[in-house]
């Protein structure tokens, strides 16, 4: 298997607290890898180690097959990144910021600036100074900067954090495009699982500094069960009917009105007819599939 990025037993401690504990990540060339975990799980620390911004106590990072160290300049040129809050010179325009970045990187191609501004849809406001940008615009400018030098691999730390739903949707489309159209491999961290679920090919779950699981979204989807979600006016009577009258025992009461039924011997249609016949008022009923969030909590509970 060809991995564009691998970590081997990565360890990092701060003040005797191990915040990254023997982490082994495997990112395949061409994929979008979602690195998920709650706040404080160790995601940013791992990402900083990938970019050599923080040194591991032990373990190694390999990117493009090369062991990353303080002199991996050539390797770094092939990587784009956003780590923590992207900083810009606020009093100048987005375009000027990109020009400065080109100079800093020794990359002289002004046409590329036009290309990336268009790609992130900032071409019409390129004259605006950055201090007047919205959060979403700044995030898009950060992506523009990260892809300016045509990287093969993008490392994005919580890039959709603090964006509104429209901004998140735009980012999702942009990431898909960068991945599919331009073949960029993307390693993206997020704690917004519903988003990761929509774009990732592989998901790595980290908690308390430990990588608990790496799975492909295909396998996760295969393992996800269907169930019937039911909302009723009388939960205890509905529960009684399911068990005593319809012989359905595999269900879970989720709240004062909601039940999840995993035993699918009766269809949604049959079940709603039976409940109504027995005087239960149904607010809603339908088939559901477990989400990445359910999978995530299942993995975390197993530990």
Q: Which residues lie near ligand ADP (CB under 6 A)?
A: 14, 19, 37, 39-45
Q: CB nearer to ligand ADP: give 202 or 272.
A: 202
Strand pairing class (185-190; 32-36): parallel
Q: How far is the CB of 206 from ligand ADP (least distance, A)?
A: 7
Q: Which two tokens stand for residue 84?
A: 């923590």
Give the C-alpha separation, 272 to 282, whole Å. Answer: 8
- Which C-beta is closer to ligand ADP: that of 182 or that of 297? 297
- Cβ-based neighbours of 108, under 8 Å, separated by 6 or more: 102
CB of residue 40 to ligand ADP, shortest distance in Å: 4
- Closer to ligand ADP at the Cβ: 43 or 213? 43
Question: Closest separation between CB of residue 142 and ligand ADP, Å?
Answer: 17
Least separation in angstroms between residue 44's CB and ligand ADP is: 3
CB of 253 to ligand ADP, least distance (A): 33
Q: Using an 8 Å Cβ cutoff, are 137 and 122 in contact? A: yes
Q: Using CA atoms, how far apart are residues 127 and 45, in angstroms rounded to an integer?
A: 35
Q: For the range 122-129, what are the long-range contacts, defined as Cβ-Cβ under 8 Å and sequence gap of 24 or more?
A: 122/94, 125/94, 126/93, 126/94, 126/95, 127/93, 127/95, 128/93, 128/94, 129/90, 129/91, 129/92, 129/93
Nearer to ligand ADP, 82 or 271 (CB): 82
Minimum CB distance to ligand ADP, residue 209 (Å): 7
Whether 211 contacts 303, CB under 8 Å: no
Which residue number, 19 or 100, has a Cβ lying nearer to ligand ADP?
A: 19
* Minimum CB distance to ligand ADP smaller for 20 or for 27: 20
- Eight-state DSSP code of residue 125: G
């Amino acid at each position: 298997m060809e991995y564009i990025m691998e970590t081997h037993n990565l360890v990092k401690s701060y003040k005797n607290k191990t915040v990254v504990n023997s982490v082994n990540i495997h990112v395949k060339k061409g994929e979008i890898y979602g690195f998920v975990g709650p706040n404080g799980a160790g995601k940013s620390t791992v990402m900083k180690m990938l970019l050599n911004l923080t040194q591991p106590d032990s373990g190694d990072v390999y990117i493009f097959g090369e062991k990353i160290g303080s002199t991996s300049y050539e390797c770094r040129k092939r990587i784009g990144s956003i780590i923590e809050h992207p900083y810009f010179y606020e009093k100048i325009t987005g375009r000027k910021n990109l020009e400065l970045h080109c100079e800093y990187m020794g990359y002289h191609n002004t046409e590329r600036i036009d290309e990336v501004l268009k790609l992130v849809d900032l071409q019409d406001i390129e004259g605006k100074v950055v201090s007047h940008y919205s959060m979403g615009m700044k995030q898009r400018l950060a992506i523009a900067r990260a892809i300016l030098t045509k990287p093969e691999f993008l490392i994005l730390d919580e890039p959709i954090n603090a964006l509104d739903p429209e901004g998140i949707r735009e980012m999702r489309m942009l990431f898909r495009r960068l991945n599919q159209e331009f073949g960029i491999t993307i390693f993206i961290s997020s704690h917004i699982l519903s988003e990761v679920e929509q774009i990732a090919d592989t998901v790595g779950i980290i908690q308390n500094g430990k990588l608990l699981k790496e799975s492909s979204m295909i396998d996760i989807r295969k393992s996800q069960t269907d169930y019937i979600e039911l909302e009723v006016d009388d939960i205890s009577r509905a529960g009684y009917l399911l068990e005593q009258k319809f012989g359905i025992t595999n269900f879970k009461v989720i709240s004062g009105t909601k039940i999840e039924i995993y035993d699918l011997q009766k269809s949604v249609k049959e079940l709603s007819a039976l409940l109504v016949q027995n005087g239960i008022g149904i607010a809603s009923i339908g088939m559901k599939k477990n989400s990445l969030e359910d999978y995530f909590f299942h993995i975390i509970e197993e530990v």
